[in-house]
């Protein structure tokens, strides 16, 4: 079982860096053909080339998940390859941790909610039918402990992640009869560019590879099991 995802296609949004890149690398190591999406073509090419040098199969496709037209174009570009789709990881996200809600500009609110929540809706709406047609698979939504706990000066981000958790719980019930498992992973602070690290010991923070490890556990579960929600914390407080 050195390549348990052999002959499967995996899509990872926000896959050009950070958590998304670590997840894409892990899925490729498990044998999947990986499609990574992001908005910047240069970053996508760099990430796909890195995974290729590691021995994996990876293509980058430009896609802004907050755009329905982009998501539909992504599905069109993949075409017949969707017959192998087995894993969808909704990882693309926008942060926002600098102001209380009453000082948050509406454009900032829209940017965060449109990517972190609406984008996941677009992706699931577009690709869940392929998973159903293929006889099942995994949808993994990367949320945050901010979707479980209060986050002062990050209310818009927290709202997007609370919403993402609710979306995940509900669609898990809708899709489990089709053998599609919907899992939500809620990490604490991860050492990436997304969130502020002031005053934290980054060596004690979660690393992108820690999230990727959990994704690997989810997609290699026995078919009769289903980890619907995983809260991931650092072993020691940073």
Which residue among the candidates 121, 122, 157, 169 is catalytic per the annotation? 157
Strand order in the sheet with 229-232: 57-62, 33-38, 9-13, 85-90, 137-142, 180-187, 229-232
Question: Are the C-beta atoms of 206 and 190 separated by less than 8 Å?
Answer: yes
Distance, in Å, from the CA atom of 238 to the CA atom of 230, rounded to the nearest integer, reads 20
Closest CA relative to residue 214, chosen from 226, 232, 202, 228: 232
Angle separating helix axes 155-175 and 106-113, nearest 10 degrees: 30
Distance, in Å, from the CA atom of 149 to the CA atom of 211, rounded to the nearest integer, reads 19
Is there a catalytic annotation at residue 169? Answer: no
Give catalytic residues, as residue numbers: 157
């Amino acid at each position: 079982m050195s390549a348990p995802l052999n002959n499967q296609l995996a899509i990872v949004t926000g896959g050009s860096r950070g958590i998304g890149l670590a997840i894409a690398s892990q899925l490729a190591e498990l044998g999947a053909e990986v499609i990574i999406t992001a908005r910047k073509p240069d970053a996508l090419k760099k990430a796909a080339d890195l995974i290729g040098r590691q021995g994996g199969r990876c293509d980058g496709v430009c896609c802004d998940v907050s755009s329905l037209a982009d998501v539909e174009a992504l599905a069109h570009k993949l075409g017949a390859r969707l017959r192998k789709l087995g894993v969808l990881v909704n990882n693309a996200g926008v942060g926002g941790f600098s102001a209380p809600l009453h000082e948050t500009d509406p454009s900032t609110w829209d940017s965060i909610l449109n990517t972190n929540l609406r984008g996941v809706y677009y992706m699931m709406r577009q690709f869940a039918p392929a998973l159903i047609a293929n006889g099942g698979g995994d949808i993994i939504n990367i949320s945050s402990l901010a979707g479980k706990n209060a986050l002062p000066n990050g209310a818009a981000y927290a709202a997007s992640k609370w919403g993402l958790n609710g979306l995940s719980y509900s669609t898990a019930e809708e899709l489990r009869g089709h053998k599609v498992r919907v899992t939500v992973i809620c990490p604490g602070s991860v050492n990436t560019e997304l969130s502020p690290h002031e005053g934290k010991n980054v060596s004690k923070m979660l690393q992108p590879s820690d999230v990727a490890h959990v994704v690997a556990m989810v997609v290699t579960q026995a078919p009769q099991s289903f980890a619907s929600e995983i809260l991931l914390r650092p072993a020691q407080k940073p």
